[in-house]
Amino acid sequence: MQEKSVVIIGAGISGLKAASELYKLGYKSCVVIEARNRVGGRLQTVSGYRGAKYDVGASWHHDTLVNGLFLEEVSLPKEESAQFVFDDDVAVTFDKDYGRVDQNPDMGLELLMEELMKFNELQYFGGLDVADVSYFETIVKYLYERRNLLTDDQIRYIPQMARFMECWHGIDWKSMSSKCMEIAHQGRNAYVMNYDKIVNRIASSFPKEWFEMETEVVSINTEGKKAVVRTNSGKEYSCDYVLVTIPQSILAHSLKPEPRKGRIEFTPPLAPTVQKAFKKAHYGALGKIVFEFEECRWSKERSRGLSLGKSNADFVSKTRNADNLQALVDELNNDTSYNFKNGEPWDFPIYFVNLAKHTDVPSILALMPDPLTTHVEAIEGKTKLYEFFQPVLTKLLAAFDCTEPILADFDEASKKSNHQGPVLKNIFTTKWTQDDYTLGAYSACVPGDDPLDLVLALTNNDGSIIRFAGEHTIMDGAGCAYGAWESGKREATFIAQKMGKM
Ligand SMILES: Cc1cc2nc3c(=O)[nH]c(=O)nc-3n(C[C@H](O)[C@H](O)[C@H](O)COP(=O)(O)OP(=O)(O)OC[C@H]3O[C@@H](n4cnc5c(N)ncnc54)[C@H](O)[C@@H]3O)c2cc1C
């Protein structure tokens, strides 16, 4: 049994930040145990065609007015920090049949979106006990109550436009809580080039001997005065504090008896407050797809595109003729069910980033919500992936002023072709839903959830020698890289104070 001051489980940004802070505070004997063979967790930078770099986990610094990680980065000398660019833009928005629907003065969808967001917010001002419903139900309620004030096109397209929120939360409109749906942005978003620089900077700020890589923690026992942490290699550590930073999706498995990768057995079991809070906590699966081209053959004017889920003309007559809200909700729910049998990308909104505009890399990055993510991440092979996305990708490029057909050339066969249009050289997706140590993307809320319950249950345990950090343990920056970073800092401070080091 090895003796340590603190054992940190997980080398994602929360675990790395905690280790870095503890080292700064004078700690000499800590260990960071990481299941994978790399650090960073859900921050991962990969190389694509001709060595271009992409982040398959987080890409942006969000909330840059208050984002502590971003503010630290801008305070550093240029060579030590990761470059970034403010790339927010109004999305070029298009529908399968209609074409472009954004900035259409007859539809005014952007203004209606604002009204719908306000409508959603106001329904919960009535009192704390107003029942939370799905975002889908709120949208139908808005259509039902405002139908005499909306045109047919507005009734048809605003629901699909509103689904844009799915690409933030990583879950679909029928699963999403409308109470927790709104995102109050605190400043612009900055696209990072790339997160590996930040991860490596923090990971190299404490001794590399602290790392124990490719090692899973399998159990934590806190029955004695010290915590005993056991790994899958049979090693045991005795420590004053143990900091658990594994994702919420993995921690959830500690509440079930079945063994699985990443699962930690807690003795005594996790507190009843944690068990209860998990009933009101869920997890989303935002996924990414990267389309890499030989050259940029489309407009670089705008950086964002949004393809809408397919709309249904019957929506209008059904909404106009309904005499009961619940019956309308049920009917439209049926009309908007989806299946992937025919390889349809038009059932979900997909958010596109035109990387050529700000980074000069001739690639398109796409963000998609679950369950599309789960479906797409299971597709094997570039050709199949391309077949699935071709219709929507073609429309996107048309919206970016490129009407020449796309040539897919994954095996360099037509290297010397004189094709005038875009030549697609590579395509790849994230695999987070299949990754044993992530199982999705980040925390998300379904109707009735309260993320604060889990945060309090995991952090309001002053006397405990088990501490928790990670994106799911904090409200400011919840789900974000900077929230995770902040939580690591919070826990290092807590431990140091308790141990009389501060
Ligand atoms: C597709 C995607 C896009 C995103 N986009 C953004 C964005 O643009 N901006 C933003 O701010 N955030 C974004 N996020 C969220 C952000 O990446 C996360 O909030 C953040 O990286 C989480 O850090 P963490 O330390 O909490 O967890 P993690 O990074 O998941 O770290 C936990 C670590 O624990 C390890 N582990 C698990 N089980 C065990 C075990 N039993 N033993 C040992 N180790 C274990 C894991 O391998 C992992 O390395 C995105 C996430 C995804 C997936």
Q: Which atom of ligand 1 is the closest one to the Cα of 469?
A: 26
Query: What SS3 string covers 311-379?
Result: CCCHHHHHHHHCCCHHHHHHHHHHHCCCCCCCCCHHHCCEEEEEHHHHHCCCEEEEEECCCHHHHHHCC
* 226 and 147 within one domain: no
Q: How many structural domains are present in the chain?
A: 2
pLDDT, tens only, 142-158: 999 999 999 999 999 99
CATH number reported for the structural domain that contains residue 267 in this entry: 3.50.50.60
Structural tokens at position 283 = 């997890």
Q: How far is the CA of 160 from the centre of ligand 1 (A)?
A: 30
CB count in 10 Å sphere of residue 338: 16
Judge residue 412's burial from the number of C-beta atoms within 10 Å of its C-beta, 0-12 exposed, 13-18 middle, 19 or more buried: exposed
Out of 412, 434, 456, a domain closes at 434
Q: Which atom of ligand 1 is the closest one to the Cα of 56?
A: 1
Out of 434, 466, 482, a domain closes at 434
Determine if residue 199 is left, alpha or beta; phi over 0 gives left, psi from -120 to 50 gives alpha, anything else beta: alpha
Torsion of CA 29, 30, 36, 42, to 10 degrees: -140
Closest listed residue to residue 23, CA positions, set 487, 482, 466, 488:
488
Please tell me the residue having the least CA distance from ligand 1 atom 6: 58
Sign of the four-CA dihedral 76, 53, 392, 415: positive
Q: How far is the CA of 436 from the centre of ligand 1 (A)?
A: 12
Residue 441 belongs to some domain of the structure = no
Residue 152 belongs to some domain of the structure = yes
Q: Which atom of ligand 1 is the closest one to the Cα of 263?
A: 41
Residue 122 belongs to some domain of the structure = yes
**Which of 7, 219, 246 for mutating ligand 1's site (highest number of atoms within 8 Å of CB)?**
246
Q: Is 7 helix (H, G, I), strand (E, B) or coil?
A: strand
Residue 170 belongs to some domain of the structure = yes
* 407 and 360 within one domain: yes
Contact 69, 482 (CB under 8 A): yes
* pLDDT lower than 70: segments of the chain: 413-417
Structural tokens at position 49 = 């065609």
CATH number reported for the structural domain that contains residue 114 in this entry: 3.90.660.10
Residue 164 belongs to some domain of the structure = yes
Angle at 160 between CA 155 and CA 165, to 5 degrees: 130
Structural tokens at position 9 = 């489980």
Residue 442 belongs to some domain of the structure = no
- The H-or-E segment that residue 388 falls in is helix 382-399
Q: Which atom of ligand 1 is the closest one to the Cα of 470?
A: 26
Structural tokens at position 137 = 């139900």
Residue 317 belongs to some domain of the structure = yes
Q: How far is the CA of 454 from the centre of ligand 1 (A)?
A: 17
pLDDT, tens only, 60-115: 999 999 999 999 999 999 999 999 999 999 999 999 999 999 999 999 999 999 99
* 232 and 333 within one domain: no
* 200 and 154 within one domain: no
Contact 59, 287 (CB under 8 A): no
Contact 250, 278 (CB under 8 A): no
Report which DSSP code applies to 310. P
* 481 and 425 within one domain: no
174 contacts: CB under 8 Å, gap ≥ 6: 134, 135, 136, 333
Sheet holding 363-368, edge to edge: 99-100, 92-95, 304-307, 350-354, 363-368, 287-293, 423-429, 407-408
Query: What gap in Å lies between CA 315 and CA 140, rounded to an integer?
Result: 10
Alpha-carbon Rg for the chain in angstroms: 24
Residues with C-beta less than 6 Å from any ligand 1 atom? 9-15, 33-36, 41-43, 57-60, 62, 216-217, 245-247, 250, 262, 264, 286, 288, 430, 432, 437-438, 441-442, 470-471, 479-482, 484
CA atoms within 13 A on the CB side of 377: 22
Q: How far is the CA of 42 from the centre of ligand 1 (A)?
A: 3
pLDDT of residue 417: 66
Tell me the sheet residues that pair with 283.
443
Query: What gap in Å lies between CA 197 and CA 80, rounded to an integer?
Result: 8
Torsion of CA 364, 365, 370, 375, to 10 degrees: 60
Residues in the chain: 502
- The H-or-E segment that residue 220 falls in is strand 217-221
* 378 and 240 within one domain: no
Q: What is the widest separation between alpha-carbon atoms in the chain?
A: 73
Contact 124, 179 (CB under 8 A): yes
Contact 358, 402 (CB under 8 A): no
50 contacts: CB under 8 Å, gap ≥ 6: none
Contact 101, 95 (CB under 8 A): yes
Closest listed residue to residue 216, CA positions, set 237, 199, 230:
230
Q: How far is CA 232 from CA 40, 261, 469, in A?
A: 21, 10, 22
Structural tokens at position 351 = 């958010």
* 136 and 170 within one domain: yes
Query: What gap in Å lies between CA 236 and CA 108, rounded to an integer?
Result: 62
* 242 and 156 within one domain: no
* 312 and 298 within one domain: yes
Tell me the sheet residues that pair with 426.
292
End-to-end CA distance of the chain: 28
* 176 and 309 within one domain: yes
Judge residue 468's burial from the number of C-beta atoms within 10 Å of its C-beta, 0-12 exposed, 13-18 middle, 19 or more buried: buried
Q: How far is the CA of 337 from the centre of ligand 1 (A)?
A: 31
- 123: domain range? 92-187+286-434
Q: How far is the CA of 107 from the centre of ligand 1 (A)?
A: 40
